[in-house]
Amino acid sequence: MDGRSRFFRLGRMSGVGVLAAGVAFFAAPSPAGHAGTDCQECYVVTHGASPAAAGAGIDDLYTFQVTNNDQDETLRSLTFTAPTDFVITAASGPGDTSVSALPASSVTLGLPPEWGTFTVKVKALTPCLAAGSADWGVSGIDSLGETNEVRWSPSPLGVSVTGKCSLAFTGEPAQTAVQSDIHTGFNSTGSPLEVQLLNANNEVLDSADYSANTTQVTVSIEANPGGGTLTGTTTVTSSKGVADFGNLQINKAGAAYDLAASAPGFTPATSSFFTIAGLIQACGTGSCTVSQSASTTTASAATSSASGNFVALGLGGVTLTCNHYNAVSDVAALGVLNSSGGNVTNSSAIVTLTISKSLVESAWRPLFRWQVCYGSQTPFPAIWGTSGTTVIGGTTYHTGLLLPCFLFSHRHPEPCLISRHRTWTGAVQLTFAALGDPFGRG
């Protein structure tokens, strides 16, 4: 109701009384949207079953009760404004209430004529990051076009953010070769790596949430057995709650790498362990031979178990020890793998490790003291007193120095030392039979 309507309803008062009442009314209007119920002709908003603390990234329901204290006018529209970075996703009111376009930071409800008390419900997403607590705002327009008639009671609704959003790898990195894209499938197959944004309940973050499309997510190496460097696009802005990493690579071989994903204000995530091989070679029919060299060691492997499969070979990036044995060369990690990266059952290979002349001279020992420290997930016979275990990437490997092959029948093969000798260049060459998923070290 405007001032003119109120003026004419006071017609029976004396002139001085009318003037005094008019001056008092126009001199002290109540500010719109502020607390206070001391009004005879206004609209009072109270917050009923509404959370004072909202979980980070979670969609919460806010319920408001609106009471009309004006006997002559009704509200035409009511607007609720959420705290900074909150996103309103839904709203409803009495009867044929219309709702402005959502999602948005505020919502305007076009109201049917309501003379008494009615309820408005608003759903809003809490941001993952917010500075302390903040207040909701409310305003309205009545049937006379007045905009200063809405009051909070007893005070504006303040909301604080609780809990914390987090990150998670949606697919784990799989084994691949150096300088190859790390995907969720073996040998750079499968999908690119994705990091998902989760709310405080560990649920997928709603794509309408402010943080879902603005968060800078960074991936880095956490466990770094090979001393490798991660290259590619390592920082990505999230989109619809996901950050995609399609071209990450590591430049050095190693077993049990893992990756960490981080973002400001989010609980970080760590991937599962994976291997970076020096090379991965697809094998056709017949035997398959691979070779690789490092500063102190050359490794070559020949297998007939890889027909239609793959051989992965890497030097370095593995810590392997055997009891009472001081290893001096780079570790040779070998795998005969299927197209999914799984070990080929009962696979075997003949592996040759050549220890460089310079290393042989710097770590002088008699030829018979050059041994192979071998590791496998399956227990195997070893030289007495040298057996033990080593944990690599959460997996326990049995270790020990290999026994000579003449001790075993070809019907019951075991990993064993075939030969050792010095080459004409002064290097030491060790040849052994490998079974399963071994690590060999000279």
pLDDT tens string 279-318 = 999 998 778 999 999 888 999 999 988 778 899 999 999 8
The mean pLDDT value for 405-409 works out to 92
pLDDT of residue 435: 86
pLDDT of residue 36: 44
Per-residue tokens: 344: 């080929």
Residue 70 pLDDT level (bands cut at 50, 70, 90): confident
Residue 294: other Cβ atoms inside 10 A: 18
Question: 332, 290 in Cβ contact below 8 A?
Answer: no
pLDDT of residue 39: 67
Q: Which of 440, 319, 436 is nearest to 371 (CA)?
A: 440
Rounded to a whole number, what is the distance in angstroms from the first to the last CA of the chain? 94
Q: What is the CATH number of domain 170-277?
A: 2.60.40.10
The mean pLDDT value for 202-223 works out to 94
Residue 152 pLDDT level (bands cut at 50, 70, 90): very high
Amino acid at site 15: G
Per-residue tokens: 176: 């691949």
Residue 3 has pLDDT above 80, yes or no: no
What CA–CA distances, in Å, run from 399 to 50, 78, 323? Answer: 62, 74, 8
- Count of residues for the chain? 442
The mean pLDDT value for 355-383 works out to 91
Residue 442 has pLDDT above 90, yes or no: no
pLDDT of residue 439: 57
Residue 399 has pLDDT above 90, yes or no: yes
Distance of CA 282 to the CA centre of its chain: 32
Residue 130 has pLDDT above 80, yes or no: no
Residue 132 pLDDT level (bands cut at 50, 70, 90): low
pLDDT of residue 115: 72
pLDDT of residue 324: 87
pTM of the model: 0.81
Question: 257, 275 in Cβ contact below 8 A?
Answer: yes
> Which residue matches tokens 């009309």?
68
Residues contacting 271, CB < 8 A, separation 6+? 169, 172, 173, 258, 259, 260, 261
Q: What percent of the chain has pLDDT over 70?
A: 88
Report the alpha-carbon distance of residue 198 to residue 56 in Å, rounded: 9
Residue 245 pLDDT level (bands cut at 50, 70, 90): very high
Residue 1 has pLDDT above 80, yes or no: no
Question: Which residues in 130-153 are b (16+ Cβ under 10 Å) and which e?
Answer: beeebebbbbbbbeeebebbbbbb
Q: Which of 411, 415, 418, 417 is nearest to 438 (CA)?
A: 415
Q: What is the pLDDT of residues 82-114, one digit of tens each?
A: 998 899 999 999 999 999 999 999 999 999 987
Residue 15 has pLDDT above 60, yes or no: no
Per-residue tokens: 227: 């001393």
Q: What is the domain partition of the chain in residue ranges?
A: 31-162, 170-277, 279-441
Among 21-25, 239-243, 295-299, 431-435, the least confident range:
21-25
Q: 13 versus 351: which is more confidently predicted?
A: 351
Residue 168: other Cβ atoms inside 10 A: 17
CATH architecture of 31-162: Sandwich (2.60)
pLDDT of residue 364: 82
The mean pLDDT value for 387-398 works out to 92
Residue 38 pLDDT level (bands cut at 50, 70, 90): low
Phi and psi at 80, nearest 5°, equal -110, 135
Residue 8 pLDDT level (bands cut at 50, 70, 90): very low
Report the alpha-carbon distance of residue 370 to residue 372 in Å, rounded: 7
Residues contacting 87, CB < 8 A, separation 6+? 103, 104, 105, 124, 125, 127, 208, 209, 210
Residue 26 has pLDDT above 90, yes or no: no
Strands 235-237 and 274-277, how do they pair? Answer: unpaired
Residue 178 has pLDDT above 60, yes or no: yes
Average pLDDT taken over every residue of the chain: 86
Q: What is the pLDDT of residues 296-305, one digit of tens each?
A: 899 999 998 8
Matching fold, domains 31-162 and 170-277: yes
pLDDT of residue 71: 80
Residue 16 has pLDDT above 60, yes or no: no
SS (H, E, C) the chain: CCHHHHHHHCCCCCHHHHHHHHHHHHHCCCCCCCECCCCCCCEEEEECCCCCEEECCCEEEEEEEEEECCCCCCEEEEEEECCCCCEEEEEECCCCCEECCCCECEEEEECCCCCCEEEEEEEEECCCCCCCEEECEEEEEECCCCCCCEEECCCCCEEEEECCCEEEECCCCCCEECCCCCEEEHHHEEEEEEEEEECCCCCECCCCCHHHHCCEEEEEECCCCCCCCEECCCEEECECCEEEECCCEECCCEEEECEEEECCCCECEECCCEEEECEEEECCCCCEEEEEECCCEEEEEEECCCCCCEEEEEECCCCCCCCCCCCCCCEEEEEEECCCCCECCCCEEEEEEEECHHHHHHCCCCHHHCCCEEEECCCCCECCCCCEEEEECCEEEEEEEECEHHHCCCCCCCCEEEEEEECCCCCEEEEEEEECCCEEEC
Residues contacting 341, CB < 8 A, separation 6+? 174, 175, 185, 186, 187
pLDDT of residue 19: 32
Per-residue tokens: 79: 């607007």
The mean pLDDT value for 177-200 works out to 97
